Structure 1
Amino acid sequence: MKKWIGALLAALCMVTLLPVQAAAVELPLTSRAALLMEKTTGQILFAQNEHEKLEPASVTKIMTLLLTMDAIDSGALAYDDVVTVSANAAGMGGSQVWLAEGEQITVEELLKCVCVSSGNDAAVALAEKVAGVTELFVEQMNNRARGLGMDDTHFVNPTGLTAEGHVTSAHDIALMSRELLTKHPDIRSFTTIWTDSIRNGTFDLANTNKLIRRYDGATGLKTGYTASAGYCISATAEREGMELIAVVMKGETADKRNADAKALLNYGFSAYALVSAAPEEPLPALPVTMGEVDTVALTLPPDALTAVVEKAQAAALERRIDLPESLPAPVRQGQQVGTLTLCSGDTELMTVPILAAEDAAGRSWGRMFTDLLKMAVFAG
């Protein structure tokens, strides 16, 4: 099994995808930095000042949500766990849900408070529940960021409140947004809430992300604002099986920020499509020479069959399979034996390795001797 996993990972590294040209068009954006990413492939479709280090404000909370959901998935935390609010959490300024010291509230309701109302007090309460103290949680935030390749990022707190050295970039926000959506799709049950309540219906919540109501297919994700950060957002939406992540930083107003996010999403949905490279018919078994078996089954890397293409190309896709007439034994499971190429006209869009789905051992001396005897008998 370990050899098969290793071979599969090596095969994934062989996938060749023609990169979509980021920022190939001019969009009428007013915000300082922006980036558009397709979620499944991680391909960047548009970028503007995407690596500039800027304050993210409450968009920071995407990482807070990611670590909380990680803890839930690992079993260290549960939605119905009860959190006792500390004085530290209750004392947070900025946007809040007015948690009181000593108040008891579930992890699920705290997630709702962060995703819908962007509560700083709720974010700190979650951070303390996950890591014990906010300092350790912030250390986890930065470790997780490094693991995702967020090289423009340094977190100082779990809320996004203004603090010296608390910065990230549009590129890095897209990375952590993608991680949250792909690893924890259940987060959408919180980020798509328009209005709700906590404390048995006595305290109302309204989503700070107005695109949830005003943009078709919106799935989230997080807004942010401080006087120094300006208006920020990681806006996500899904149409026809393709989910896009539009990041906007340092917008001039909430309306201009939202307009920029919509412009990015509209561009992505109008210009691109998500397609599968998988052939319509199953791959044929490949003959094996000098093996214990006559043929070997073939397969494709399951996580490398999706590509983002321009819609004009999607209408005329072809799949070219290149395989040898036979394979000499031995054949190892996961061994690359050919290629599948996704083409649009003369343009190659994507090349995927075709793999052996099983081992095919070389023919033993005993088997070869028996075969020779059979040949001699039939020849006589």
Structure 2
Amino acid sequence: MGYGSRGDVEPLAALGLALRRLGAEVRVCAPPDPEFAGLLARAGVPHVPFGPSVRSVVTRPDPQPSDAFRLAAELVAAHFGAVAEAAEGCDAVVATGLMPAGVRSVTERLGIRYVFACPHPFGMPSSHFPPAGRPGRPAPPGADLRTLWKVDAERVDALYGEPLNTHRAAVGLPPVDDVRAHVLTGRAWLAADPVLGPWQDLTDLDLVQTGAWLLPDERPLPDDLTAFLADGEPPVYVGFGSMAMRGAPGAARAAVEAVRAQGRRVLVGRGWAGLAPIDGRADCLAIGEVNHQALFRRVAAVVHHGGAGTTTAAALAGVPQVVVPQIVDQPHWAARVAELGIGAAHDGPTPTTESLSAALALALAPAVRTRAAAVAGDVRTDGATVAARLLLDGTGGQPPLPA
């Protein structure tokens, strides 16, 4: 189960497919958004919807801090409701996405295995980087990393502690006094590629790194997109996925103008931000959700928000990338792309024509394309199968197959 954006749900679809191929029965609890139902249908796994639509949450006008507390309580209730019902008769539950506070309690009550997995290590306590922002009491001025992570744990408790312990008491379980540690366990799984996302010396926890969980995609590209690609030099793709960016029209204008400044055609991925062309010129095409595995191999560069899935897809395609990070793990992926020499990290979440054009100029350099192609050969594609074998072996099911 997982609650979050496409980057949280698509890996679960990939794991579900890998488990099915090894003979296991699978069901996936995920938000009710239609695009997530489509992902799971492609993997051939039943979809158990829970919680509110993620798009309705992230595109809500004028969001307030109190919204996070209401959502936390709603999700915990769903963990003990729809998710618990789906877990009946199962051997194990794999939980990911937005703090799955109640899921471990469900597995305790049922007496089955619980695994917490994450596509990045940046929500784990660390002596190397600070936690991402959460609503709650502010940290003391000048606080060190140890204090910041302590405050983060207190914020998690404030969000989830009361609803979690209320539901635990109702099913006869004792209270939890550290929700974050309870959810993460002492040995979480990291569903990230070892080349792109090494975790050693990043977090203070012990992790099991499986590689990224990638869902195969055999869908053909739409006819209008195929025709556009064939009608000139490879374009630059610009898309921000599930990010409902504030000021999206300005970001779209900056992106299109920056790409044109580099003498390139441009593909605009509409995404949840609703990006659109800025004029009717023939060098720009807006597209919806398409097969990125096929598309990225045919573009000059990928400009994106730095989600774990898009970063991995671009790296696997061997195409240079420009990361315009918005939240949570995305600044870290941007830094890693720059460190590996496979693209450029934009400075900050709000691109201008000048700033994005400069980053694109770096990414489009021949040496970067050569480096991106070389790194692509080191990116693993078997992460979901590795995780599936580990899961089945650990639950007494079918033993792992030979590597």
TM norm structure 1: 0.25
Structure with larger Rg? 1
More helix by share: 2
Q: Considering Cα pairs closer than 8 Å and 6+ residues apart, tell me whether 1 or 2 has the greater RCO.
A: 1
